Structures are given as C-alpha cells and as structure tokens.
C-alpha cells in the first residue's frame, strides 16, 4: 500500500486547526507536525522530539504539517480543500506562514520507518513517560513508569497534548485502592495502560474499532499488563457495571454522546476525566454536563486543547 502525503509549509499557530480539519473533515489516515522548535529544543521533552541536528536536511522555517491519505484519494481535490482552509484561517487573522503545499507518494513501509526517526520518548511527567517500542530509554528517575507503545499507523503519533492532559487527570484521581477505570475510546490503549501503571486495579477499555481492540491488547502485552479488559462497543453502550473513574480522550462531539451515559456507570464519589476538547467546543460540553448533573472541578488548557476533571454535582 502506498500513501499520499500532503505537506504544508505553515506556522505553528494553525497546526491544531489543520490537524482537526484533516482528521475530521478529510478523513486523513494520520497527521503529523514538525516544528522548528522541536528540533532546536533539547532537554525539555514535553510534546516534542529531540533529534540530532545533523540528521535534519529539511528544517522547517516554522512548521511542516503533514497529512497522510490513501493513495486512491483525490489529490487535487484535497489540495484545493487545504488551500481553501488556509485562506479561511488567514481570514481569522492567523499566521499561515508560506502556505506552500506539496504532495508526494511513499510506500507505507517507508513511512513507518521515516516516522520512527521522529517519534521519541515523551516525558509526560515525573512519573510517566511514553516510550516507542523501538527506543532504548533510560529514565532520569528510576521510579518513572514507562509506557511502551507501538502506536502503529492506525493511530498516527496521536496528539500528545490531549494525552498529557488526560494523564494529569489520572495522576490526580488515582489516590485510593482498589480503584476501577473505564477508558472510553481507548485507541492504542494508552490511557488504560497509564491507569494500570498508576495502580488502578480493574480496567476496561472500550472502542468502536477492531483495530483498537487489537492494538490495546498488543500494547497491554508489550507492557506486561494483565488487568485491562477490552470491549468493542460504542462508548459505554452494552457496558456492565460502574466505575470509580471514567476517562475519555475523544473529540467533543463524541463526548456529547457520552455524557448522558455516564451517570449509570459512575460509582458514588467517582470522577470523570475528559480530554480532546477544542476550547471552542467547551461551552457545549459545560452545558451538557450541567444538564446531566455533573460539574467541572478542574480545567486544564494547553494550546487549543482542554482537559477536564468532572464530578457529580452535590445533592
């Protein structure tokens, strides 16, 4: 299988907007950004990659945004849509950089290899790091939990910001034992695995896709984790029982479908952790939470992305 790559020479300011547009509206197989600052930065690894500068022949002026599509996709139409989107973003007063769009095709296999070169350890926090399975990493602190991951093409490199916000919520919430967690829309299984590493005793990971079930089981095995069950279903439909923590790192539109299902699946005194919310969508989420008997305890915002810790309203 070959992949169509659309590469846009742009600015960091529109990176998130392009990611959402490519994934949600154009059904991209994956997206990726390379920021100049990622390459220049060293030592501080949050949401960035550190690469030997000599390795880089093609350093972005500001940001290269890449979207990956099936080779059968209509290249000219996609380019046109990205051009229109860039003009729309420019109209909002955003910096779109040079806005130069180029296209190419590569073998899927090559892409995986190229990608590994840029996808390195992410130090989410003092106690949690994500380590790609091909990476040999020695943490600065011996008790840092390493989450080994083979993200695979299906999930791209994910969005580190939204994952980190959800993990901060988990680190704050997992303070008792035993504690049960359901990870809704688990994708690669990363948050379910983080919950297990943090000491959650009973974990369910749900997702609507077969690929996610396979990836979650493989990534669980990679981490020697045995307390994660998987269930293929839409959100919490058909899920039995209640949990101490519901965590969901999915787009706001899907969270709106999840909210009415939560009360029936949350233990008394339980917490809900959301991530993946574009800040423009926050008012809708707040309204729906309020209507369903929930309130926001903590709001975390990084760039455009918002994460929430949520509890039931007091009676």
Stretch binding its own copies (CB under 8 A), from 39-47, 79-87, 149-157, 248-256: 39-47
Residue 91 marked ligand-binding:
no
User: Would you count residue 261 as binding its own copies (CB under 8 A)?
Assistant: no
User: Would you count residue 61 as binding its own copies (CB under 8 A)?
Assistant: no
Shortest CB 47 distance to its own copies, Å: 9
What's the maximum distance between 2 C-alpha atoms anywhere in the chain? 61
Say how far apart CA 253 and CA 129 lie, in whole Å. 29
Q: Judge contact between 296 and 309, C-beta under 8 A.
A: yes
User: Would you count residue 314 as binding its own copies (CB under 8 A)?
Assistant: yes
Q: Could you tell me the strand order of the sheet in which 145-149 lies? A: 122-125, 128-132, 145-149
User: Would you count residue 171 as binding its own copies (CB under 8 A)?
Assistant: yes
Shortest CB 134 distance to its own copies, Å: 21
Stretch binding its own copies (CB under 8 A), from 21-29, 120-128, 148-156, 211-219: 120-128
Say how far apart CA 182 and CA 206 lie, in whole Å. 8
Residue 163 marked ligand-binding:
yes
Q: Would you say the C-alpha torsion 87, 77, 79, 72 has a positive or negative sign? A: positive
User: Would you count residue 287 as binding its own copies (CB under 8 A)?
Assistant: no
Residue 199 marked ligand-binding:
no
Residues with Cβ within 8 Å of residue 144, at least 6 apart in sequence: 123, 126, 127, 128, 129
- Of the candidates 194, 235, 193, the one whose C-alpha atom is nearest the C-alpha of residue 216 is 193
Binding residues for its own copies (CB under 8 A): 37, 41-46, 123-127, 129, 140-141, 143-144, 164, 168, 170-172, 174-177, 198-199, 269, 271, 297-302, 311, 314
**Which parts are annotated binding residues for S-adenosyl-L-methionine?**
163, 185, 207, 249
């Amino acid at each position: 299988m070959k992949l169509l790559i659309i590469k846009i020479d742009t600015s960091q300011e529109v990176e998130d907007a392009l990611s959402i547009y490519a994934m949600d509206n154009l059904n991209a197989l994956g997206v990726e950004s390379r920021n100049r600052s990622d390459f220049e930065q060293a030592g501080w690894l949050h949401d960035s990659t550190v690469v030997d500068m000599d390795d880089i022949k093609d350093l972005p002026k500001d940001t290269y945004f890449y979207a990956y599509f099936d080779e059968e996709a209509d290249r000219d139409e996609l380019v046109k849509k990205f051009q229109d989107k860039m003009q729309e973003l420019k109209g909002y007063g955003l910096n779109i950089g040079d806005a130069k769009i180029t296209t190419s095709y590569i073998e899927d296999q090559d892409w995986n290899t190229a990608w590994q070169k840029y996808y390195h350890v992410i130090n989410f926090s003092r106690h949690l790091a994500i380590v790609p399975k091909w990476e040999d990493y020695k943490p600065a602190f011996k008790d840092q939990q390493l989450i080994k991951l083979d993200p695979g093409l299906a999930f791209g490199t994910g969005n580190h910001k939204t994952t980190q916000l959800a993990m901060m919520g988990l680190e704050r919430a997992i303070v008792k034992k035993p504690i049960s967690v359901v990870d809704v829309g688990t994708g690669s299984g990363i948050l379910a695995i983080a919950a297990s590493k943090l000491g959650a005793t009973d974990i369910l990971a749900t997702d609507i896709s077969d690929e996610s079930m396979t990836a979650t089981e493989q990534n669980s095995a990679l981490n020697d984790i045995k307390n994660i069950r998987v269930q293929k279903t839409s959100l919490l439909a058909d899920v039995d029982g209640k949990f101490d923590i519901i965590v969901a790192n999915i787009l706001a539109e899907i969270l709106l479908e999840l909210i009415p299902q939560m009360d029936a699946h949350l233990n008394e005194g339980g917490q809900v952790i959301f991530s993946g919310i574009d800040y423009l969508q926050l008012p809708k989420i707040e309204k729906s939470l309020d209507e369903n008997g929930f309130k926001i305890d903590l709001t975390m915002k990084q760039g455009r992305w918002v994460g929430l810790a949520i509890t039931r309203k007091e009676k």
